[in-house]
Amino acid sequence: MSLTIHRIGPACTIQDQGRAGFLDQGLSRSGAADVLALHEGAALLGQNPGCAALEMAGLGGEFEATQPTRIALTGAPMQAVLDGSPLTWNASHQLEAGQRLVIGAALQGNYGYLHVGSGIQSEVLLGSRSAHLTAKIGRAVQVGDALATGPDSGPAGLKLTPAERFSGGLLRVVASFQTALFDDTTLHRFAQTEFRRGARANRMGMQLESGGDGFAAKGQLNILSEVITPGDIQMTGTGNPFILLPECQTTGGYPRIATVLPCDMPRAAQTPASGAIRFEFVTMDQAMALQSAFDAELARLPGKVEPLLRDPHDIPDLLSYQLIGGVISATD
């Protein structure tokens, strides 16, 4: 065991990249809401981005190291201190046995991630360690749980500049199965509207709000349920759009006006309450090029880590370091 949980937020779960191949059985992929954060943590710790991490929705907790442990902190920036000393976010750190890590509320965005060296070694179910609360696979972590890790070695004290995605912005979308049911005027208005993330949001989906009329499709009450995936933008009966997230249902009958590109889903999931969002339709060829560029950027992340320079004010054992070497006599 490496980290014992003494205090924890209400919606913290273990997540990896999710389980694929079960849509036909009614099980959506689940996995991290911000998959980019998984890759960032893996780059900081020099490990596979498929490793599981602790996803913290808005609030972290208090953790005690029971053995020397490397950690990394990515995703939505949160307040973090180790034995009272602040820790840099988007960086890796070394914890010694007995030290306590406290992670507070998100300062930006929604989902922060705590990674450990070699990844969290929780039970694998259907090929993944990801909790899927709506499907009752796994559960939220609780006080008294211990986050287990496997053998680990490697450096800590590295940092990474994250991609900005914590305040909303532009989401690129492609046409969905029912886009043609919305007339050109409605589609144009949709693309010109500034939406705000509403209060209704969880790992299944997030509501968007805007001024003016809602968005309706022709014959939407006669639409049969079809397969749906994360990123689909469903229009409810009130005309309010919902962006579906990792734990969304696998079928639905609400009309879908568009689908957010996978490479823009981290930005969607991290948009805070009342954060502004706009949509831009792109062609399938453009979408494939954008996704390829995103995938290439993920592959380059390990080469972008750099040493973390610590502020001497934040080093409690500063006097134990040899700060001066090669001393010579001023008179010789």
Domain ranges of the chain: 3-164+299-318, 168-282
Stretches where the chain sits below pLDDT 50 are 317-318, 320-323
pLDDT value of residue 221: 55
**pTM exceeds cut of 0.85:** yes
- At 318 the pLDDT is 47
Q: Find, among 44, 37, 47, 43, the residue nearest to 17 by Cα.
A: 37
Closest among 202, 251, 254, 211 to 233, alpha carbons compared: 254
Read off the pLDDT of residues 173-222 as tens digits, 9 standing for 90 and up.
999 988 999 999 999 999 999 999 998 899 999 999 998 888 888 766 56
Q: Does domain 168-282 have CATH number 2.40.100.10?
A: yes
